[in-house]
Amino acid sequence: MDNRGFQQGSFSSFRSSSSDEDLMNITGTAMDFSMRDDVPPLDREVEEDKSYNGGGIGSSNRIMDFLEEPIPGVGTYDDFNTIDWVREKSRDRDRHREGAFAYIVNYFMYVLWALLFAFLAVSLVKVFAPYACGSGIPEIKTILSGFIIRGYLGKWTLVIKTITLVLAVSSGLSLGKEGPLVHVACCCGNILCHCFNKYQKNEAKRREVSYYFPLKTLWRSFFAALVAAFTLRSINPFGNSRLVLFYVEFHTPWHLFELVPFILLGIFGGLWGALFIRTNIAWCRKRKTTQLGKYPVIEVLVVTAITAILAFPNEYTRMSTSELISELFNDCGLLDSSKLCDYENRFNTSKGGELPDRPAGMGVYSAMWQLALSLILKIVITIFTFGMKVPSGLFIPSMAVGAIAGRLLGVGMEQLAYYHHDWTIFNSWCSQGADCITPGLYAMVGAAACLGGVTRMTVSLVVIMFELTGGLEYIVPLMAAAMTSKWVADALGREGIYDAHIRLNGYPFLEAKEEFAHKTLAMDVMKPRRNDPLLTVLTQDSMTVEDIETIISETTYSGFPVVVSRESQRLVGFVLRRDLIISIENARKKQDGVVSTSIIYFTEHSPPMPPYTPPTLKLRNILDLSPFTVTDLTPMEIVVDIFRKLGLRQCLVTHNGRLLGIITKKDVLKHIAQMANQDPDSILFN
């Protein structure tokens, strides 16, 4: 529209003398470039006004009367592609500008609802499913490595974690839902496995994706992801017709010089990650070793009350963390009513939908102070929140910390480029009136940096950021920030947050990244050692039901080697404790004549028995005839590598077919600690 009368001075005068709603009407009219037959253009109205002088707006009353008239299709619900949502947001903000009494009532209700949701979440977890608390990722990593945690992937855990996750997020606590959703997905997979015989009785099939990922599993995973994406697109849960949570569409490419602030964000992310891991682990250790751990409900309520009381006065902590990150990632436009986009508009036109860099207004400066306070609160409160007895993830809080820091740095760089565009670092690529800096991009890079500093992810982190934002063209800034944060965090501590919690909880998990370079042998680690009691074994054809039941009641081993005889110690196979118990109980109930003196055979054929003897019990079908074995002279470097890559729980040690001992994953972990000059007895397996 060729509107020579609507210029810089007139726009500023309208901005200073109009309310928010009037400003929305003015902006909407200025942006409507369509020439409709039933809507006279603004030029026609100006030309009909005889007092127009060509240099500005001659009669403000005349134009304001025109602007107050309803324009078909704009500001109504006839066309959802207009600025109607902006106007409604402005009106909603005006409606909430009430007196002190209404503010106090809202404050009280905010805290009350937060405490109610948190109380329901922690109570359900404590009473029905204690395994539903926390993130779940440390335990899932441990299970995939070959360790069994009974009930962790059960039905009650799935139901309670799904319900309490909604309650915990709704309470306003500084936690996320991504980690718990991984646990929920694994529960679904474990429960669905029982519907198919192929997976129900094959533990290796269930853990197929942990270390061994065959091509057929890759195609199955691809198909499952395809179905999930189609379902997500059909439901449209984010309301933006996108498949990603924080979709970004920046109009300005990044410049090479901006790698410097991106690397600074990576350094900040690494420092924040190392600080968070150390302080959070110290607090969780205090919770486990003091009386604090005996009162999980009180702890959750206290942290929730502190969070709600401190969060409500600040609009950036009062809103949900996902909404905060989305606003920080946003690239400001003319129609944005957020304080983060409250710039002074000193321009004539906008080319290609891009806005030039502008001086910050009072709203931006106010938002910067609020974001700085939000950053401090998020950093402190997340330390005490992660690890409580409610479902709590870490992705969203970490991204929020990084996004806040990135937005602060981005606005600072934007203003620096605007006021000092003639500096050497800017004059080659940033001219006056150009759109040079995108603060939303800095927020996205900062989010990736802080998430990488906490989790120590690199490649997968960049992929996750692509999935969350759709910003494929910003791969270099994301990679630079992710690698820098990992290097800085690794310099201050080698463990990520999940590995640190695995060690804190005493889970038998072998880290695949660490190398074992000591020259020890399997015979140095196996049990029994010298002067130890003999290894508990079962014979293949000479033990009664009573003998085996006695061994089961007197020991806590998860399985037993089966040998030809105690004298020869020739290995036949390995049988699990659980299978023995179930088989004997079923035989007593369903097989006539089975008594305590009945002989158990692990052989294929049993010899003929004399008359009037109790019937025998054949258990060869539960015997593992090919247990994993190594010789006594196998280097421990190879043994450790086998445990890592195959997810073994135990390994038998033989010499020329004769059973000598057994090595469990716990034995390997204790040996690694001993080689690192640590007390092996200090490693607990809780």
Tens digits of per-residue pLDDT, 391-402?
999 999 999 999
Lowest pLDDT segment from 73-82, 98-107, 162-171, 323-332: 73-82
Q: How far is CA 255 from the centre of its chain?
A: 30
User: CB atoms < 10 A from the CB of 2, how many?
Assistant: 5
* Residue 293 covered by a domain: yes
* Residue 543 covered by a domain: yes
Q: In what order do the strands lie in the sheet with 543-544?
A: 543-544, 599-601, 617-618
Confidence band (pLDDT; 50, 70, 90) for 665?
A: confident
For residue range 30-47, list pLDDT tens digits in order.
444 444 444 444 443 434
Type and span of the H or E element at 242: none
User: How far is it, in rounded angstroms, from Cα 93 to Cα 238?
Assistant: 22
- 389 and 300 Cβ atoms separated by less than 8 Å: yes
> Who wins on pLDDT, 54 or 264?
264
* Residue closest to 408 by CA, chosen among 448, 367, 378, 436: 367
User: CB atoms < 10 A from the CB of 142, how many?
Assistant: 20
Task: Give the per-residue pLDDT at 552.
Answer: 92
Residue 542: which CATH number?
Answer: 3.10.580.20
Residue 269: which CATH number?
Answer: 1.10.3080.10
User: CB atoms < 10 A from the CB of 624, how many?
Assistant: 15
Domain identity same for 488 and 544: no
User: CB atoms < 10 A from the CB of 487, how many?
Assistant: 14
Among left, alpha and beta (phi > 0; psi -120 to 50; other), residue 390 is: beta
Task: Give the per-residue pLDDT at 116.
Answer: 96
Task: Give the per-residue pLDDT at 429.
Answer: 75
Task: Give the per-residue pLDDT at 32.
Answer: 44
CA distances from 563 to 60, 310, 540 (A): 102, 66, 6
Residue with tokens 């090595």: 663
Task: Give the per-residue pLDDT at 594.
Answer: 83
Amino acid identity, position 144: L
Domain identity same for 465 and 608: no
For residue range 195-220, list pLDDT tens digits in order.
877 776 666 666 555 555 667 777 88
Can you name the residues that pair with 302 across neighbouring β-strands? none
Domain identity same for 527 and 484: no
Domain identity same for 336 and 269: yes
Q: Residue 489: helix, strand or coil by DSSP?
A: helix
Task: Give the per-residue pLDDT at 5.
Answer: 40
Residue 326 has pLDDT above 80, yes or no: yes
* 82-91, 211-220, 434-443, range with greatest mean pLDDT: 434-443
Mean pLDDT, residues 172-179 = 90
Mean pLDDT, residues 176-191 = 89
* Residue closest to 461 by CA, chosen among 443, 444, 442, 441: 444
Pairing of strands 571-576, 559-563: antiparallel
User: Total structural domains in the chain?
Assistant: 3
Residue 18 has pLDDT above 60, yes or no: no
Domain identity same for 156 and 286: no
Domain identity same for 291 and 426: yes
Domain identity same for 172 and 223: yes
Q: Residue 338: helix, strand or coil by DSSP?
A: coil
Domain limit, last residue, from 233, 252, 270: 233
User: CB atoms < 10 A from the CB of 441, how many?
Assistant: 26
Task: Give the per-residue pLDDT at 85.
Answer: 47
* 333-347, 423-437, 608-622, range with greatest mean pLDDT: 608-622
Task: Give the per-residue pLDDT at 129.
Answer: 92
Task: Give the per-residue pLDDT at 309.
Answer: 96
Mean pLDDT, residues 557-573 = 91
Main-chain phi, psi angles of 79, to 5 degrees: -135, 110
User: How far is it, in rounded angstroms, from Cα 190 to Cα 303?
Assistant: 33
Domain that holds residue 569: 522-676
* Residue 118 covered by a domain: yes
Task: Give the per-residue pLDDT at 28.
Answer: 41
Domain identity same for 375 and 307: yes
Residue 449 has pLDDT above 90, yes or no: yes
Domain identity same for 290 and 435: yes
Can you name the residues that pair with 176 across neighbouring β-strands? 393
Tell me the two tokens of residue 644: 């890592």
- 478 and 448 Cβ atoms separated by less than 8 Å: yes
> Who wins on pLDDT, 441 or 243?
441
Confidence band (pLDDT; 50, 70, 90) for 530?
A: confident
Domain identity same for 432 and 565: no
User: CB atoms < 10 A from the CB of 269, how many?
Assistant: 32
Mean pLDDT, residues 517-534 = 86
- 441 and 250 Cβ atoms separated by less than 8 Å: yes
* Residue 239 covered by a domain: no
Contacts of 488 (CB under 8 A, 6+ apart): 266, 267, 269, 270, 271, 274, 453
* Residue 71 covered by a domain: no
For residue range 471-506, list pLDDT tens digits in order.
677 888 888 999 999 999 999 988 899 999 998 888
- 484 and 267 Cβ atoms separated by less than 8 Å: yes
For residue range 149-172, list pLDDT tens digits in order.
888 988 999 999 999 999 999 999
Domain identity same for 456 and 565: no
> Who wins on pLDDT, 40 or 144?
144
Average pLDDT, the chain: 80
Tell me the two tokens of residue 46: 């100006």
Does the global pTM surpass 0.85?
no
Task: Give the per-residue pLDDT at 20.
Answer: 43
Mean pLDDT, residues 404-423 = 86
H/E/C letters for each residue in 260-276?
A: HHHHHHHHHHHHHHHHH
* Residue 619 covered by a domain: yes
User: How far is it, in rounded angstroms, from Cα 389 to Cα 301?
Assistant: 11
Percent of the chain residues past pLDDT 90, beyond the cut: 36
Task: Give the per-residue pLDDT at 35.
Answer: 42
Q: What is the DSSP letter of 606?
A: P
> Who wins on pLDDT, 631 or 513?
631
Tell me the two tokens of residue 603: 């052989």
CA distances from 134 to 153, 179, 393, 405 (A): 14, 9, 7, 26
User: How far is it, in rounded angstroms, from Cα 679 to Cα 551?
Assistant: 31
Longest dimension (CA), the chain: 126
* Residue 389 covered by a domain: yes
Domain identity same for 196 and 338: no
User: CB atoms < 10 A from the CB of 376, how many?
Assistant: 11
Confidence band (pLDDT; 50, 70, 90) for 356?
A: low
Lowest pLDDT segment from 70-74, 642-646, 672-676: 70-74
Q: In what order do the strands lie in the sheet with 658-664?
A: 629-631, 650-655, 658-664
Confidence band (pLDDT; 50, 70, 90) for 522?
A: very high
User: CB atoms < 10 A from the CB of 326, how many?
Assistant: 19
Among left, alpha and beta (phi > 0; psi -120 to 50; other), residue 342 is: beta
* Residue 514 covered by a domain: no
User: CB atoms < 10 A from the CB of 81, how many?
Assistant: 7
Q: Cis bond leading into 528, ω under 30°? A: yes
Confidence band (pLDDT; 50, 70, 90) for 54?
A: very low
Query: Vertex 437, ends 435 and 438: CA angle to 5°?
Result: 100
Residue with tokens 């010089």: 257
Mean pLDDT, residues 67-78 = 45
Task: Give the per-residue pLDDT at 635.
Answer: 92
Lowest pLDDT segment from 295-299, 455-459, 569-573: 455-459
Tell me the two tokens of residue 583: 């088989």
* 188-192, 235-239, 485-489, 664-668, range with greatest mean pLDDT: 485-489
Q: How far is CA 526 from the centre of its chain?
A: 39
Residue 259 has pLDDT above 70, yes or no: yes
Confidence band (pLDDT; 50, 70, 90) for 363?
A: confident
- 574 and 623 Cβ atoms separated by less than 8 Å: yes
Residue with tokens 């025109």: 66
> How far apart are the two ends of the chain, measured CA to CA in Å?
72
Mean pLDDT, residues 631-659 = 89
User: How far is it, in rounded angstroms, from Cα 440 to Cα 437?
Assistant: 9
Q: In what order do the strands lie in the sheet with 571-576?
A: 538-539, 559-563, 571-576
Tell me the two tokens of residue 305: 């009350």
